[in-house]
Structure 1
């Protein structure tokens, strides 16, 4: 059986100076009945961190 679950979350970040960012997180997990949740969560966290670091670097370059 092919089990699939979609997770969609949105976060609005507001700094004291008025700068705003909207963060949207969309993750689709398939065959989750077979998942090793520890490994899956670890890989999601690692990949997310890398994505956020890339975005931060690009944002810094845009502001220079």
Structure 2
């Protein structure tokens, strides 16, 4: 079975403001993903600029079919 990760995040921008997400889900390869890899992935995937700090919260990895091709 394939793995997915469910997590909350907080992204703080260096020019002010922030973005928060709850129960965000992503497909992952393998059985785990580090907070740093996860932060890099969401920043790149969402094409965010001027990112300062990223916090990954309440991360849970579970089995579920991947949603992306």
- Does the pair score TM above 0.5? no
Larger-Rg structure: 1
**Per residue, is there more helix in 1 or in 2?**
1
What is the TM-score when the length of structure 1 is the normalising length?
Answer: 0.31
Question: Which protein has greater RCO, CA pairs closer than 8 Å, 6+ apart?
Answer: 2
What is the TM-score when the length of structure 2 is the normalising length?
Answer: 0.30
